[in-house]
Chain A
């Protein structure tokens, strides 16, 4: 099931982004980062198989770069870092639809801040704080809705393994 969610989210991400604005400062409020949402959702499916989880998300990150960004290894590393954050949160916090919503909000913010911080650090593109907040604000709506739907779907699946 985890792989089905991951594959659907991965390709849906690509299809949707082909039909939505992608110019900086002209982004849609429905900018998709569904793969990022999916790697958080699938964690409970890998209970006591953390190594397998991390291998899965690292491969996903590698493929994400190959398919969508042409930045070899960048998202592999970021997804790995996100995996550490997700693993920590699932172990420490008892998640329910509301807490998951809040967690997903911070997960998305953390990803963009991390990404843009690296771009700023290596002086790759001229970035402003407004640009970063613009990107974050335009990425929340669709991804939070998608994440919440996936969470509720997974919660009632018979093979779902919960850490809590």
Chain B
């Protein structure tokens, strides 16, 4: 009788543990999960240890990072839209949404998310350096993603190659007839192309047209280079086009990034 009770108790405990694990997994696997203060503190401690461990390796890469200076990054990323035009617009409309209205913060990538499906990088700069969530991350080759989960000493970059439904960017395609807006909506893993959807089928788009951020929505500044059109396909109803964008960025080889911090965020 006693043994039977004990066995029953054991089964209940096992079931509770399994159920607990199930809920814990669901909670932790959700990418939109907010980090608590304890997790932030532990993450900061981990970042400091990682920085120490990675120091000899990042020091070796320092030369590669030299060309990522403030002026170089800005110049490279506004090559599609003329600087004077941006200045004029900025003055006329009192806009603060151009690259010149941003302070670049250079950071080193200290780790990549080993759960490959999430497509995130961890950098060694955080809220102590004035970084906030949703700030834009670029390299000399253009846009790479936006910040999420910012702690005091580290931040996570969600790459544009992530197929997360919340990871959408408003983009502008420079065609021969002018500019047209669309949405960067995902990544084709097999072809290695960033996908842009919602392009009006009437608009004439050619292979080689440049794609930059449009600045619509206010999250990303206007004029950050993303890539060029490599592939054009119509949807099954012929109402809109989906574009495959070839980026010059090698997402497997990102060691230094620049975060665009709004000048007023100093």
Query: With A67-B50, A70-B149 in contact, is A126–B111 under 8 Å at CB?
Result: no
Query: With A18-B109, A21-B252, A25-B190 in contact, is A69–B57 under 8 Å at CB?
Result: no
B53 touches which of A15, A74, A119, A125 (Cβ 8 Å): A15
Give A138's nearest chain B residue, CB to CB. Answer: B116
The answer for the CA separation of A64 and B39 in the assembled complex, in Å, is 13
Query: With A18-B112, A24-B189, A25-B189 in contact, is A124–B25 under 8 Å at CB?
Result: no
Query: With A74-B28, A124-B31, A125-B163 in contact, is A69–B189 under 8 Å at CB?
Result: no
A54 smallest CB distance to B (angstroms): 12
Is A27 an interface residue, CB under 8 A from the partner? yes
B117 near A127: Cβ-Cβ < 8 Å: yes
A22 near B54: Cβ-Cβ < 8 Å: no
B46 touches which of A66, A77, A131 (Cβ 8 Å): A66
Q: Which residues of B contact A23 (CB under 8 A)?
A: 116, 119, 161, 189, 192, 251-252
Is B24 an interface residue, CB under 8 A from the partner? yes
Is B124 an interface residue, CB under 8 A from the partner? no
B204 smallest CB distance to A (angstroms): 32
Is B29 an interface residue, CB under 8 A from the partner? yes
The answer for the CA separation of A138 and B50 in the assembled complex, in Å, is 25
The answer for the CA separation of A11 and B56 in the assembled complex, in Å, is 13
Q: Which residues of A contact B95 (CB under 8 A)?
A: none
A68 near B57: Cβ-Cβ < 8 Å: no
Query: With A23-B161, A24-B117 in contact, is A17–B112 under 8 Å at CB?
Result: yes
A28 smallest CB distance to B (angstroms): 9
The answer for the CA separation of A17 and B122 in the assembled complex, in Å, is 13
The answer for the CA separation of A64 and B162 in the assembled complex, in Å, is 22
How many of chain B's residues have a CB under 8 angstroms from any CB in A?
A: 43
B10 smallest CB distance to A (angstroms): 15
**Which residue of B24, B25, B53, B255 has the most chain A CB atoms within 10 A of its CB atom?**
B25
Is B26 an interface residue, CB under 8 A from the partner? yes
Give A33's nearest chain B residue, CB to CB. Answer: B114
A146 smallest CB distance to B (angstroms): 15
Q: Which residues of B contact A77 (CB under 8 A)?
A: 21, 24-25
Is B30 an interface residue, CB under 8 A from the partner? yes
Task: Identify which of residues 149-197 in chain B touch chain A, using a CB-to-CB cut-off of 8 Å.
Answer: 149, 156, 161, 163-164, 189-190, 192
The answer for the CA separation of A71 and B120 in the assembled complex, in Å, is 12
Task: Identify which of residues 66-113 in chain B touch chain A, using a CB-to-CB cut-off of 8 Å.
Answer: 109-113
Query: With A18-B54, A72-B28 in contact, is A135–B116 under 8 Å at CB?
Result: yes
Interface size bucket, A side? 35 or more
Query: With A23-B189, A23-B251, A70-B113 in contact, is A122–B25 under 8 Å at CB?
Result: yes
Q: Which residues of B contact A17 (CB under 8 A)?
A: 111-112, 114
B40 smallest CB distance to A (angstroms): 11
Is B1 an interface residue, CB under 8 A from the partner? no
**Which residue of A26, A64, A72 has the most chain B CB atoms within 10 A of its CB atom?**
A72
The answer for the CA separation of A106 and B211 in the assembled complex, in Å, is 45
Q: Which residues of B contact A66 (CB under 8 A)?
A: 42-43, 46
Is A118 an interface residue, CB under 8 A from the partner? yes
Give A116's nearest chain B residue, CB to CB. Answer: B117
B28 touches which of A22, A68, A71, A115 (Cβ 8 Å): A71
Give B24's nearest chain A residue, CB to CB. Answer: A73
B111 near A74: Cβ-Cβ < 8 Å: no
The answer for the CA separation of A82 and B175 in the assembled complex, in Å, is 54
A68 near B111: Cβ-Cβ < 8 Å: yes
Q: Which residues of B contact A72 (CB under 8 A)?
A: 28, 33, 39
Query: With A25-B189, A63-B46, A70-B149 in contact, is A124–B57 under 8 Å at CB?
Result: no
10 other A-B residue contacts (CB within 8 Å) besides A17-B111, A71-B29, A124-B31: A18-B109, A18-B112, A23-B192, A24-B189, A66-B42, A70-B113, A70-B149, A74-B115, A119-B29, A125-B164
